[in-house]
Amino acid sequence: MPTRASDLVTLGLRIRHFRGEHGLTLDQLGDRVGLAGSQLSLIENGRREPKLSTLQDVATALAVPITELLNGEAPNTRAALEIELARAQKNPLYGALGLPTVKVTKGMPLAALESLLGLHRELARRASEAIATPEEARRANTELRELMREQDNYMPDIEQLAEDQVQASGHVSGALTHREVSVMAEQLGFNLIYVNDLPGSTRSVTDLVNHRIYLPPASIPGGHGLRSMALQAMGHRLLGHERPASYAEFLWQRLQINYFAAACLMPRNASVAFLANAKRERELSVEDFRDAFGVTHEAAALRLTNLATSHLDMTLHFLRVTGDGALQKGYENDGLPLPADVTGSIEGQFVCKQWSARSAFTHTNRTTEFYQYTDTPAGTFWCATQTGATDAREFSISVGVPFVQAKWFRGRETTQRAISRCPDESCCRRPASDISSRWAGKSWPSARLHAHVLSPLPSGTFPGVDDTEVYEFLEAHAAE
């Protein structure tokens, strides 16, 4: 027996269809099966589930097998449309609009039916477009990274916009102050307001009626985060953003506001002057750039990727890697072979254990950068890595360049060298065969879930787990 509401609708329509073929009215068929016409009507409208005995009587009266009534298909095209509309009106998506349910009757013109259905289909299409599956999210992210790589991670229009805005605030040099950021907001017609009760899912909220930008209170007095968040909120206004219609557009807006905020905190002209001078002195370092502009190490490293190729004639790469070796963010236009999955997505992939992005965890004390030359199948790269930790875990920020460009950087004289053969799995991805044979099939690691929304599941015995590390851990502890 059908139990779902939509199946009852189909059943009802099939009964009505066969009743019509026999030229019977509701009351006439009702008489034959011992039901009032009104009760039969409820069944035909899918609002009452018939007893099996009733169904049998109806089948007999209409001279069709009972299976013919229970067949899940619409009896004809018109009925198929009616069923679809009945289903669409029961959808929570429609319910959320608080609109009345239209009773689908025999007398409803076909055009009205088609028009309503067309609107329902479009509503469903728009809703599903706005919801990104992790796979769509990863794909959109990859497309964006490739687009930015093609333009050397540089957006001239936003650079100019930021340059003009910062100048208008009266800023002269060095770190952009909170006061100057407030002035920028005022010039846009907005007040910055710091509150304790921002919705948990937001970083800032802009009130377009009262022209206010609500921000969380500073966790660290004078912290860089607040200036950045206020600038990002302003970026939405200055760049004319509208509510994103897709996940790809959401990502694109995020990238643009982040770019704008970074270009305000480290304005193009002042930054290029600073970096070009450091390059001339052969003293380039993310550390100094960071300190000169009062930003985080990561912000300075990312900003360097905007300016290095367009203004300093250098190619480079940037990596943010978590303590377990997974790539959180990456950029390269210098040929460093970033690990990627079959879709080209890099987020969540493990970088080579030999790279400074990972070896730095074992070498540094977090106060200074760690320098290393790494030979890879794509050539030798020099990298500077800074490690740090958030509440939850360790991470490392690396900026590196091909060997020939290392001469511009502080740390070029390091004697630290490593050889990476990745993506050849025998480099660091496959455990030694004796260890492997001892532990394969005899261990059961439980994966730590990566909170990152874009985190893919790398292939392996257990998704999200680095087999090699598990096996080596077991090997080391087994001897104890």
Residues within the interface to Zn ion (CB under 5 A): 352, 420, 422, 427-428
Give whichever of 188 and 465 is closer to Zn ion, judged by the CB atom: 465
CB of 349 to Zn ion, least distance (A): 12
Determine the distance from the C-alpha atom of residue 226 to the mean position of all C-alpha atoms in its chain, rounded to a whole number. Answer: 23
What's the token pair of residue 221?
Answer: 């007095």
CB of 422 to Zn ion, least distance (A): 3
CB of 472 to Zn ion, least distance (A): 14
Give whichever of 50 and 325 is closer to Zn ion, judged by the CB atom: 325
Cis peptide before 199 (omega within 30 of 0): no
CB of 417 to Zn ion, least distance (A): 15
Return d(Cα 267, Cα 184) in angstroms, integer. 14
- How many C-beta atoms lie closer than 10 Å to residue 121's C-beta? 12
Q: What are phi and psi of 397, to 5 degrees?
A: -115, 125
Max Cα distance, the chain (Å): 101
329: Cβ contacts below 8 Å, ≥ 6 apart: 318, 319, 320, 347
> Degrees (nearest 5) of the Cα angle 417, 419, 420?
135
What stretches of 313-448 show up as alpha helix (H) in DSSP?
A: 356-363, 433-439
Give whichever of 310 and 416 is closer to Zn ion, judged by the CB atom: 416
What's the token pair of residue 337?
Answer: 């072979």
Return d(Cα 304, Cα 283) in angstroms, integer. 14
What type of residue sits at position 33?
V
- How many C-beta atoms lie closer than 10 Å to residue 242's C-beta? 8
396: Cβ contacts below 8 Å, ≥ 6 apart: 319, 320, 321, 357, 358, 360, 361, 385, 386, 387, 388
CB of 429 to Zn ion, least distance (A): 7
Give whichever of 62 and 422 is closer to Zn ion, judged by the CB atom: 422
CB of 414 to Zn ion, least distance (A): 20
CB of 231 to Zn ion, least distance (A): 38
What's the token pair of residue 110?
Answer: 């076909």
Give whichever of 74 and 428 is closer to Zn ion, judged by the CB atom: 428
CB of 338 to Zn ion, least distance (A): 12
Return d(Cα 246, Cα 385) in angstroms, integer. 35
What type of residue sits at position 357?
A
What 3-state DSSP class applies to 264? helix
CB of 436 to Zn ion, least distance (A): 16
Give whichever of 333 and 376 is closer to Zn ion, judged by the CB atom: 376
Give whichever of 15 and 428 is closer to Zn ion, judged by the CB atom: 428
CB of 398 to Zn ion, least distance (A): 15
Give whichever of 2 and 325 is closer to Zn ion, judged by the CB atom: 325
Give whichever of 139 and 353 is closer to Zn ion, judged by the CB atom: 353
CB of 375 to Zn ion, least distance (A): 11
Quick one: CA torsion of 374, 380, 386, 390, rounded to 10 degrees? -80
What's the token pair of residue 475?
Answer: 């090997």
CB of 425 to Zn ion, least distance (A): 8
- Which secondary-structure segment (H or E) carries 397? strand 394-402
Give whichever of 396 and 420 is closer to Zn ion, judged by the CB atom: 420
What type of residue sits at position 21?
E
Give whichever of 376 and 455 is closer to Zn ion, judged by the CB atom: 376
- How many C-beta atoms lie closer than 10 Å to residue 139's C-beta? 18
Give whichever of 54 and 349 is closer to Zn ion, judged by the CB atom: 349
What's the token pair of residue 347?
Answer: 């987020």
Radius of gyration of the chain (CA): 32
